[in-house]
A = this chain, B = another copy of it.
């Protein structure tokens, strides 16, 4: 390599997920050859994001202010609270559905072996929020994995303790999928949970 700074840049790019040595090289060359202004913009955006983005004290999602724009918004329905594992899950629900309630981002799932218990997921914050009495339904949207299901059960208990109705996203055959390729567990669940068709 002709330049130590270039080596450092290629090395630094590898912190990004899914970027190995070859892609990092390609990215570094691209920025230097074709888009130096974009590179400067990216450097500024990165350092300002790392410096200023913290967690919202209400929902634990990323936020620059103490309370994020969603939690601070008067147009959201404060009776509904949706618990998700990650900011990416929150974003997926926000983009796909017409949901107008609020969110609570666990930033993980219960995993005792990894030392992730209720404290790490901010469930004390969630409990005091449910105790406020405004939330009527807790929509539990953790992932349908073993750990996600365990977390869902725990959250449902917590909700019932505070007289809040827990609900869970429906499981079943994905739209546009073919039955032949749906896994057994999902198919069996969908078969068991069949519903009567409206006329």
A: residues with CB less than 8 A from B are: 1-6, 8-9, 11-13, 15-18, 23, 25-33, 35-36, 38-50, 52-53, 56, 61-64, 68-70, 86-88, 91, 107
Contact = CB atoms under 8 A, between A and B. Distances in A.
30 contacts: A1-B91, A2-B56, A3-B62, A3-B63, A3-B68, A5-B45, A5-B53, A8-B49, A9-B45, A11-B45, A12-B38, A12-B41, A12-B42, A12-B45, A15-B35, A15-B42, A16-B30, A18-B23, A18-B27, A25-B91, A26-B88, A29-B88, A31-B46, A32-B53, A32-B62, A33-B86, A33-B107, A36-B50, A42-B46, A43-B43
A94 to B, nearest CB: 8
A63 to B, nearest CB: 5
A contact patch SS = helix
Contact of A15 (B1, B16, B17, B31): B31
A143 to B, nearest CB: 15
A181 to B, nearest CB: 22
A86 B25 CA distance: 12
Contact of A31 (B16, B48, B64): B16
A30 B29 CA distance: 23
Contact of A9 (B8, B33, B49): B49
A56 B6 CA distance: 13
B5 A28 contact: no
A40 B11 CA distance: 13
A43 B45 CA distance: 8
Contacts of A40: 46-47, 50
Contacts of A1: 91
Contacts of A43: 42-44, 46-47, 50
Contacts of A6: 49, 53, 62
B15 A41 contact: yes
B49 A5 contact: yes
